[in-house]
């Protein structure tokens, strides 16, 4: 069915064609991320997934200090639940202080 016939049928039935959503674009300009000037100012975390030779999957959580590039924590497991991740990132359980909030301690 061509678009003219479809349009005519929609007009007869008083229907409206749903518009497709366009590409989402960022509003405004983004501010560049500040470069850390010392350790423990900003941390990054990343989940990495891989498979063993017997096709079992495992995930790794890496927490890295962006200034010193030091790996602060690494968790490896078949399933890393939110409870385990939160326990690992809990500042009371760590010997490393968490990153600065708002640039001040």
pLDDT in tens, 38-59: 988 898 999 999 999 999 999 9
Tokens of 80: 């890393």
Q: Nearest 5 degrees, angle CA 79-CA 74-CA 55?
A: 40
Burial 4-25 (b: 16+ CB within 10 A, else e): eeeeeeeeeeeeeeeeeeeeee
Q: Is the pTM of this model over 0.85?
A: no
Please give the Cα distance from 105 to 102 (Å, whole number). Answer: 8
- Token reading at 21: 């959503």
Determine the pLDDT at residue 76: 92
Structure tokens at 47: 């989940």
């Amino acid at each position: 069915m061509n678009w003219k016939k479809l349009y005519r049928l929609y007009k007869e039935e008083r229907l409206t064609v749903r518009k497709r959503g366009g590409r989402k674009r960022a509003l405004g300009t983004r501010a560049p991320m500040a470069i850390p000037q010392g350790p423990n100012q900003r941390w990054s975390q990343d989940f990495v997934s891989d498979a063993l030779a017997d096709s079992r999957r495992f995930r790794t959580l890496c927490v890295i200090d962006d200034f010193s590039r030091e790996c602060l924590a690494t968790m490896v497991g078949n399933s890393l639940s939110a409870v385990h991740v939160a326990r690992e990132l809990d500042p009371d359980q760590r010997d490393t202080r968490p990153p600065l909030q708002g640039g001040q301690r």
